[in-house]
């Protein structure tokens, strides 16, 4: 690509902003799009990844085993170890050792049990979060503070954003210095609105320097951003299986616990987290597994795990690594930002422009975000809206191509030109 420097940075080669360029780029790039079946122009993989043929086949395989084996599947198949086996396969994506990852529960349940565990193990009475978190994370943290007889209004300490879009590691460190009672830090890896990728190594280092334990909600990064949890020294992490991992609605979630914490009794205990060697002895007292598997609670929902297993088979079949997914994701989000800059002057790009500060989606701000989302849906372009003013475009690297990105931006341009959003009501009759 040829770029000519301008006053405000490099000028984008005009040819790059055409659909013909996007088609050529798609022809030259790897893609798994043929394995997925997504409705319309689907740029909402950061909410729910589409179905793949491998996911569908994996569900069929499990149903066949259930039919043939019934209860004997727990002994004659590998059902008993699915949580650990899937965890082992995801461990390289997050830079973890095999026994540090397990697939279990839901994201919020995992956050409850891990925050509860590490709040108990810490010397502090406060949890540090930030004001741009996904609200459910705060619900869980507040609940765990209440369970320990602490006032969540006092114990939930929030790092403020400087611009309403991002959180800076320096501000996390400043909050730690100002609040010595913080025992646990809980941050997202990627902010769900703007798409900012937080500096996990810097935040981890700051937390440990202040004798706090640190965990991350990685729902918006696992499967699209490589992590190095073990090397960095992250204490714990959680994520879902239905976004970039394409594991289906309600897919089993995942969790990471650093090996130095293995053997700790979880705050929420259940028989599936018991030491596997003695699990069926039905002992009166709980003996935690000496692995991340201890944070499993109940019998694993195999039907909510099978699609994830199928997608991981798809990745293995095509030798797809998270590094390759990240490279393709950045190329797609770069292209989306370039097109938005050129074609959508009414929209502010809220996503960080520096690639190493950006997750897998691009946030565009417009006061009519909600109605724009409705108008795009009417055009069979599926995007995501976050109130009050954010339209999120997610070119998930598994199934979205450069031409899809071009088409989505072109549709948004047409919606604005024709004021097509005027056909739709604002939520609750108010403004967006």
* Catalytic annotation, residues: 134, 217, 242-243, 392
CB atoms within 10 A of CB 112: 23
* Separation CA 71–CA 74 (nearest Å): 6
Instruction: Take residue 150 and report the two structure tokens written for it.
Output: 């602490």
CB 44 within 8 A of CB 400: no
Instruction: Take residue 1 and report the two structure tokens written for it.
Output: 């690509």
Cis geometry, peptide bond prior to residue 388 (ω within 30 degrees of 0): yes
Query: For residue 11, which phi and psi values (nearest 5 degrees)?
Result: -80, 140
Query: Which candidate, 399, 342, 388, places its Cα nearest to that of 363?
Result: 388
Q: Please give the full DSSP string across 96-146, using - where no structure is assigned.
A: --GGGEEE-S-HHHHHHHHHHHHHHHSS-SEEEEETTS-HHHHHHHHHHHH
Give per-residue burial for 58-93: e unless 16+ CB within 10 Å, then b.
Answer: bbeebeebeeeeeeebeeebebbebbbbbbbbbbeb
Q: Residues 298, 299, 300, 301: is their CA dihedral positive or negative? A: negative
* Separation CA 91–CA 69 (nearest Å): 30
Cα dist. 427→62, 295, 362, 432 in Å? 41, 40, 23, 7
Instruction: Take residue 227 and report the two structure tokens written for it.
Output: 């992590």
């Amino acid at each position: 690509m040829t770029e000519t420097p301008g006053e405000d940075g490099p000028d984008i080669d005009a040819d790059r902003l055409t659909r013909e360029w996007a088609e050529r780029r798609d022809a030259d790039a790897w893609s798994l799009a043929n394995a997925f079946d997504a409705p319309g122009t689907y740029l909402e993989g950061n909410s729910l990844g589409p179905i793949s043929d491998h996911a569908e086949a994996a569900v069929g395989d499990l149903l066949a085993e259930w039919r043939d084996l019934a209860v004997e599947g727990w002994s004659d198949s590998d059902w008993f170890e699915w949580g650990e086996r899937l965890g082992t396969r995801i461990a390289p994506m997050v830079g973890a050792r095999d026994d540090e990852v397990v697939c279990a529960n839901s994201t919020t349940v995992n956050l409850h049990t891990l925050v509860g565990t590490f709040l108990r193990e810490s010397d502090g009475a406060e949890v540090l979060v930030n004001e741009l978190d996904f609200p459910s994370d705060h619900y869980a943290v507040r609940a765990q503070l209440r369970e320990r007889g602490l006032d969540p209004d006092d114990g939930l300490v929030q790092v403020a954003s400087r611009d309403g879009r991002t959180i800076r590691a320096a501000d996390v460190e400043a909050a730690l210095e100002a609040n010595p009672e913080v025992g646990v830090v809980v941050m997202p890896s990627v902010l769900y609105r703007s798409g900012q990728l937080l500096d996990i190594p810097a935040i981890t280092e700051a937390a440990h320097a202040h004798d706090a334990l640190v965990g991350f909600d990685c729902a918006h990064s696992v499967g699209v951003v490589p992590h190095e949890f073990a090397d960095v020294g992250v204490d714990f992490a959680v994520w879902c299986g239905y976004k970039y991992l394409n594991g289906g609605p309600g897919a089993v979630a995942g969790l990471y616990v650093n090996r130095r914490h293995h053997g700790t009794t979880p705050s929420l205990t259940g028989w599936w987290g018991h030491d596997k060697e003695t699990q069926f002895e039905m002992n009166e007292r709980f003996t935690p597994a000496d692995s991340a598997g201890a944070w499993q609670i109940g019998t694993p929902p195999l039907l909510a795990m099978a699609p994830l297993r199928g997608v991981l088979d798809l990745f293995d079949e095509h030798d797809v690594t998270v590094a390759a997914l990240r490279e393709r994701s950045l190329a797609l989000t770069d292209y989306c930002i370039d097109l938005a800059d050129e074609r959508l002057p009414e929209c502010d790009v809220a996503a960080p422009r520096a690639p190493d500060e950006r997750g897998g989606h691009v946030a565009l701000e417009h006061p009519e975000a909600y109605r724009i989302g409705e108008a795009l849906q009417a055009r069979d372009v599926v995007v995501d809206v976050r109130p009050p003013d954010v339209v999120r475009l997610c070119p998930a690297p598994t199934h979205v191509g450069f031409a899809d990105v071009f088409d989505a931006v072109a549709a948004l341009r047409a919606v604005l030109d024709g004021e097509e959003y005027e056909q739709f009501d604002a939520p609750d009759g108010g403004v967006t």
